[in-house]
Amino acid sequence: MNNDPSHSTLREWRQHVFHPLTLTALASVAAILALVGPFGTQDLLSLPERAAYWTTLTGVGYVTGYAFGSRLLKGQAPPARRASRVILAGCLTGCAMTLFIAGLNWLVFRIVPSTATWPAFALTTIAISVIIMAVLDQFDQHLQPVAVRAADLDPPRLLDRLPLDKRGAIVALSVEDHYVRVRTTNGEDMLLMRLSDAIRETEPLRGAQVHRSHWVSYDQVTSVTRQGDRAILSMSHGPDIPVSRANLPKLKEAGLLP
């Protein structure tokens, strides 16, 4: 299983953004905006031009917001920290969209905000982005990568190796001599195989090898306890899992550590 953050993020981005439900929602929003023609676009552009303008703006805005949101809003966090993440994601999205909208308006209308109107323009865009990010955060399950939700439809191949009564959501894998202990929500079983081979068969689950002897599913981590330059993961089922110092960045990438 390839757990490289850049490959994983790109794969999740493609699966989410190009999912039929996402494309349908974006097309619907763009169509409504094109018909209504807010912010003077009804008077300045024809219907086909408005459709192109708002489709571009809606698509770029969603992709930008998803990029920041999926990075900053992964995992669980206390309400105060969650709120700060929402605000940060909204501000970053708003800053990026301020520049993009200004550039798009220059290309379409040959106008840009004046020096006097730039602050209001930027603050308005940022405020809207924060509000949208807060709304999206309330539907956090819809922001999770489609691959995770598809796991129920396309279970990991590793489960085929387990007895029927032990098959369930995979919690963790642990090396014991030449065996791999597979822990699921329905029990445990020992398989004679290498850990690297077992990890490859956990796709499409989101997880990582956090120790030379352990792999965990991110969705089954209930809490993280920092212990110096290491950490301990509490899992939904079974004993805790240690995290080595070298693997702490993986937890940060997954949003499990600040």
Q: What domains appear along the chain, each with residue ranges and CATH number?
A: 5-148 (no CATH), 155-253 (2.40.50.1020)
* Nearest of 137, 148, 140, 134 to residue 12 by alpha carbon: 148
Backbone angles phi, psi at 77, to 5 degrees: -160, 155
Please say whether the beta carbons of 250 and 199 come within 8 A. Answer: no
- The confidence score (pLDDT) of residue 155 equals 85
C-alpha–C-alpha distance, residues 64 and 26, integer Å: 13
- In this structure, the chain runs to a length of 258
Backbone angles phi, psi at 143, to 5 degrees: -90, -10
- The confidence score (pLDDT) of residue 26 equals 85
Which helix (DSSP H) or strand (DSSP E) does residue 191 occupy?
A: strand 187-192
228-242 pLDDT, tens digit per residue, is 889 999 999 999 999
36-83 pLDDT, tens digit per residue, is 988 888 888 999 999 999 999 988 988 888 888 777 776 555 677 778
pTM of whole model > 0.85?
no
180-213 pLDDT, tens digit per residue, is 999 999 999 999 999 999 999 999 899 999 999 9
Whether pLDDT at 141 is above 50: no
